[in-house]
Structure 1
Amino acid sequence: MTNTVRFNVLGPVRAWREGAELDLGSPQQRAVLAVLLFHGGALVTLDELVAAIWDDEPPRTAVGTTRTYVHRLRRVLERDPGKPTLLRSAGGGYAINSRTVDLHDFQQRLDAAAVAEHAGRAAQAAEELDQALAMWNGPALAGVPGRYAEAQRARLAEVRLTTMERRQEIAIALGHHRDAVPELTALVGEHPFRERARQLLMLALAGSGRRADALAVFRDAHRLLADEFGVEPGPELQRIHREILDGEAPGPTPGAGQRSTAVRRRADLAGRAA
């Protein structure tokens, strides 16, 4: 009988077998599992696991405790812990033989969106990005301690934001300006210094006939950047502002479609130790 376990890392670290959720234990034990999953089947040494859990201050019992975490995970994940097929040992380290991870599926959706967009199928690209974003259930590795988890959380948060922006950029390109406004408004509210989100919100508002609101978005950005950093808005934001002032229909950022490839690279599951 095959041992198929489904893992989630785009949110709390969780696992299921045949629809039943598995008890993965303490946050530190979940941290061990997360490191193994993020290495996509590659061997992770015991020292790397210890560092991921305790950073620079491991206790004297760290090695033994880490081995205990692996042993406990094996008891949960394997049908027969004495004959492991999923969590294997080799060369003083460990690896998980699994591709059933939500991050892997997220990556595949981003790839499919990029292919569709390159072929001129914008509606299909939008659908793929919707499917990708629907996989998230909060911050990646929520509740997992350590610098390793924090670095992955920050990296994937940026990938998620970039994907959200790209999704709304496609909506605007398809003429769905009004549909894009609510999510972009929320994005700007949560990330007020993120200029790309502001650019897209201005485009969506202008395309919805809300020219005054689009100009207000620029004024707010100008004030925030001046107050916090003493700088002006970037050239792209200024260009969109200038075109709206001149009564023109502002266009998208030149070459914006190339960002989908960048998103794919940043979300790649392999070689992810920060």
Structure 2
Amino acid sequence: MTKTAVKEDFRFSVLGPLTVAAQDGSHVSLRGSLLPALLTELLFHANRCVPTRRLVEVLWGDTPPKSYVSNLHTYVSRLRDRGIPIEQAGGGYRISLDVTDLDLLTFHAEVDAGRHAARAGDYPRAARHLRRALEQWRSPEMCAMDQPHLELEAVRLETERITVIEECVDAELACGKAGELLGELDTLVRQYPLRERFAAQSMRALAAVGRRAEALQVYQATRRALVDQLGIEPGRQLRHVHEMILNG
């Protein structure tokens, strides 16, 4: 018979240090390294079965103990005893959560809603959803940074986070919020000097508030970085924004 945990009202967070917060605000303590590793693997694949062989690899690598099956069951039971809803399914284990139970699920749901609104031309709604998605990130140093088994997921998610920032800024620029975005865009251009879309957005925002000369300076600085570090000229989008500002 499949054993399922008695579900408590928890909020799980992985977009930052791993936290498991109860409804009353208290936090569940997970000692050692194996319980956090097991839980993060399940959370990053929430509502999907994670095969036993994968969980064994996560916990012990290429040298699992002879009693790995019972050991794994012991660790799962420890999480269940804390009220974490883990069930056996399809030759492995699954944690079943609602979208609002896990910041990663909330992030993806808000991104999907934001992109849907943007495609429909509803930029205020798109911006609201995309900002809510970004608010799920408590720190760029997400919990996967400390979990070798999630390194590829961490890289992929960080790339997606940056893309969502770009999409959110585009939506907010379309809403006429250029002045409100100047400080954030200045920081982003400095942080990601080779990211042409941020440079183009910064130029558009500066030009929109009458700071044309500064917008052209952003172009020159970005072009210099691209040539010096990558040996390439700016792409079509950035050149187009540059030409538009030059032509007034």
TM-score computed with the length of structure 2 as normaliser:
0.86
Residue 77 of structure 1 pairs with residue 89 of structure 2: no
Inter-partner Cα distance in structure 2 for 1:113 and 1:160: 13
Q: Which residue of structure 2 aligns with residue 8 of structure 1?
A: 13
Deviation of 1:167 after TM superposition, in Å, equals 1.4
Structure 2 residue runs without a partner (length 5+): 1-5
Deviation of 1:143 after TM superposition, in Å, equals 4.9
Inter-partner Cα distance in structure 1 for 2:162 and 2:190: 13
Residue 96 of structure 1 pairs with residue 95 of structure 2: yes
Inter-partner Cα distance in structure 2 for 1:52 and 1:190: 33
Inter-partner Cα distance in structure 2 for 1:90 and 1:115: 33
**Per-residue CA shift, 1:218-271, capped at 9, x if unaligned?**
111111111112111111111111221222xxxxxxxxxxxxxxxxxxxxxxxx
Aligned pair partner of 2:62 in 53, 58, 61? 58
Q: Measured at CA, do residues 92 and 123 of structure 1 come closer, stay the same or move farther in structure 2, by a change above 3 Å?
A: closer
Aligned letter for 2:65? T
Q: Which residue of structure 2 aligns with residue 120 of structure 1?
A: 121
Inter-partner Cα distance in structure 1 for 2:33 and 2:247: 56
Structure 1 residue runs without a partner (length 5+): 79-85, 248-274
* Partner SS state of residue 226, structure 1: helix
CA contact (8 A) 1:27 1:145 kept: no
Aligned letter for 1:70? V
Q: Which residue of structure 2 aligns with residue 179 of structure 1?
A: 180
CA contact (8 A) 1:8 1:101 kept: yes
CA contact (8 A) 1:27 1:144 kept: no
Q: Measured at CA, do residues 7 and 242 of structure 1 come closer, stay the same or move farther in structure 2, by a change above 3 Å?
A: same
Inter-partner Cα distance in structure 1 for 2:49 and 2:174: 44
Q: Which residue of structure 2 aligns with residue 165 of structure 1?
A: 166
* Partner SS state of residue 62, structure 2: coil
Superposed counterparts of 1:181-200, under 5 Å = 181-200=182-201
Q: Which residue of structure 1 aligns with residue 3 of structure 2?
A: none
Query: What is the number of equivalent residue pairs in this alignment?
Result: 237
User: RCO greater where, 1 or 2, for CA within 8 Å and sep 6 or more?
Assistant: 1
Q: Measured at CA, do residues 206 and 53 of structure 1 come closer, stay the same or move farther in structure 2, by a change above 3 Å?
A: farther
* Partner SS state of residue 199, structure 2: helix
Q: Measured at CA, do residues 110 and 206 of structure 1 come closer, stay the same or move farther in structure 2, by a change above 3 Å?
A: same
CA contact (8 A) 1:171 1:179 kept: no
**Per-residue CA shift, 1:15-36, capped at 9, x if unaligned?**
1222221112334421211111
Aligned letter for 2:51? T
Inter-partner Cα distance in structure 2 for 1:235 and 1:6: 44
* Percent of matched pairs sharing the same residue: 35
CA contact (8 A) 2:118 2:171 kept: no
**Per-residue CA shift, 1:41-77, capped at 9, x if unaligned?**
22212221233345xx533438365444323322223
CA contact (8 A) 1:15 1:22 kept: yes
Deviation of 1:198 after TM superposition, in Å, equals 0.9
Inter-partner Cα distance in structure 1 for 2:79 and 2:203: 49
Superposed counterparts of 1:258-273, under 5 Å = none
Q: Measured at CA, do residues 14 and 223 of structure 1 come closer, stay the same or move farther in structure 2, by a change above 3 Å?
A: same
* Partner SS state of residue 77, structure 1: coil
Aligned letter for 2:52? L
CA contact (8 A) 2:216 2:242 kept: yes
Aligned letter for 2:127? A
Aligned letter for 1:144? D
Q: Measured at CA, do residues 2 and 70 of structure 1 come closer, stay the same or move farther in structure 2, by a change above 3 Å?
A: closer
